[in-house]
Amino acid sequence: MRRIALVLGILLGLGLLWFAIQGYAAESGEVVVVRTLDDTEKPQETRLWVVDDSGNAWIRAGHPGAAWLLRLQVEPDIEIMRGGQTLAVRGIPTPEARERINALMAQKYGWADRFIGFFFSRDHAVPILLQPR
């Protein structure tokens, strides 16, 4: 019985450590807040990484079924909070840029991108071009 409690305690501790490291990795580096509207027009905020490429800002959905991406596809006019400013932008899913944006994210976010990418494939990530409105 004692051994079971010890094993369960270790597993619980490892699980908590996993969530702490994942949370730290996801929040490391520059994080923007993306504001989309749900089906009741209520703003929903999502925290994401951002990269710049040739004068354009890009964000990335980890997979095509991400809730914020589905909302963006219904209403592409969104807001981004970056560097203390709120910017009105149009989000344009650009799957053909996946390889380039994945590489830029890996370069900018380093170990955190590798850590999260180890558990979640980037093969179906959806890059989003942010164009000012």
The most confident of 9-13, 18-22, 45-49, by mean pLDDT = 45-49
Within a domain: residue 19? no
Q: What is the per-residue pLDDT for 20?
A: 46
* Structural domain containing residue 91: 30-132
Does the predicted model carry a pTM greater than 0.85?
no
Token digits for 28? 């490391």
Question: What rounded mean pLDDT belongs to the chain?
Answer: 87
Residue 11 pLDDT more than 80? no
Within a domain: residue 87? yes
Within a domain: residue 2? no
Q: Could you report the per-residue pLDDT of 81-117, keeping only the tens digit for each?
A: 999 999 999 999 999 999 999 999 999 999 989 888 8
Within a domain: residue 52? yes
Within a domain: residue 62? yes
Token digits for 5? 């409690």
Within a domain: residue 91? yes
Task: Identify the helix (H) or strand (E) that includes residue 67.
Answer: helix 67-74
**Tally of structural domains, the chain:** 1
For the segment 21-30, the average pLDDT, to the nearest whole number, is 59
Within a domain: residue 9? no
Within a domain: residue 14? no
Q: Do 91 and 48 meet the contact criterion of CB atoms below 8 Å apart?
A: no
Question: Which CATH number belongs to the domain containing residue 74 in this structure?
Answer: 2.30.110.10
φ, ψ dihedrals at 125, nearest 5°: -60, 150
For the segment 75-81, the average pLDDT, to the nearest whole number, is 97
Q: Do 97 and 60 meet the contact criterion of CB atoms below 8 Å apart?
A: no
